[in-house]
Amino acid sequence: MLIDFHSHFLPQIDDGSRSVEESVQILDKMAEGGVDKLIATPHFYCTEQSVDRFLEKRRAAYEKLEPMLKKEHPELGFGAEVLYDHSLVRYKQLPDLCIEGTSWLLLEMPYTDLDDKIISGVAEMADRGDVKLLIAHIERYLNFTSMKRLEQLMRLDVLGQINAKSLMSFTSKRRCMKLIEHGYVQVLGSDYHRIDRGDVTVDKGYAVITKNRKFDDFAEYAEENGRKILADKPLDSIV
């Protein structure tokens, strides 16, 4: 079962798909790549909108797309890519942003040094008991913070996701492989936004990883992790 945990294919809700037609093109690409399950994760910024308004917009975007869905398209699921803010630590509606049917939240870190306050805040979120954290595209944060800081984050009770596109270039591929080797990566996502942005489907990312004999079973490992996330299994059953 090929699962993509991070995508922006819903039309006209964020900086992803610009139209229903483009959304269909993206879903066609996903089907060609053998994706079985695709999670919609539009951006959510707690400083810009309420959870209720976000959920309304997400539902409306899907309803525009629904009549154009094809039988060969992946099964769809719904969540959000939630940008970290200190106010989220005790945010009552945080569970409403989790992947539907689970308590797993896709959390995007701010693009800055991951200082003690941020790491402490994420630790408090992980300890809330009503959400479990999947950290989005962890390889990106190394552009803004040190490996030591990222390691502090990933040693918390969290899982890590990397983007398939990051495996397509030499420098970012090396970074991703190092994160996999450290045990910080449990699943992949496409973070697919637009047809003309150069994004790639997760099958291509897994192909790059498993070409390395050291990680030839990573696709199976990630598939099992993905199934457990969708079944809302506890963190310790995954790591």
pLDDT of 111-133, one tens digit each?
Answer: 999 999 999 999 999 999 999 99
DSSP secondary structure string for all residues of 113-169: ---HHHHHHHHHHHTSSS-EEEES-GGGGGGTS-HHHHHHHHTSSEEEEEEGGGGSS
What is the pLDDT at residue 119? Answer: 98
pLDDT of 82-113, one tens digit each?
Answer: 999 999 999 999 999 999 999 999 999 999 99
User: Rounded to 5, what percent of the chain is helix, strand, coil?
Assistant: 45, 15, 40
Q: Which helix (H) or strand (E) holds 83?
A: strand 81-83
Q: Which helix (H) or strand (E) holds 71?
A: none
pTM greater than 0.85: yes
CA distances for 96 relative to 52, 68, 214, 238, 239, angstroms: 9, 27, 38, 22, 24
Q: Does 239 score more than 80 pLDDT?
A: no
Domain count of the fold of the chain: 1
CA distances for 63 relative to 10, 21, 39, 58, angstroms: 10, 14, 16, 9
Domain that residue 72 falls in = 3-237
DSSP state of 16: S
Cβ pair 9, 69 in contact under 8 A: no
Please report, for the domain that includes residue 27, its CATH number: 3.20.20.140
Cβ pair 200, 206 in contact under 8 A: no
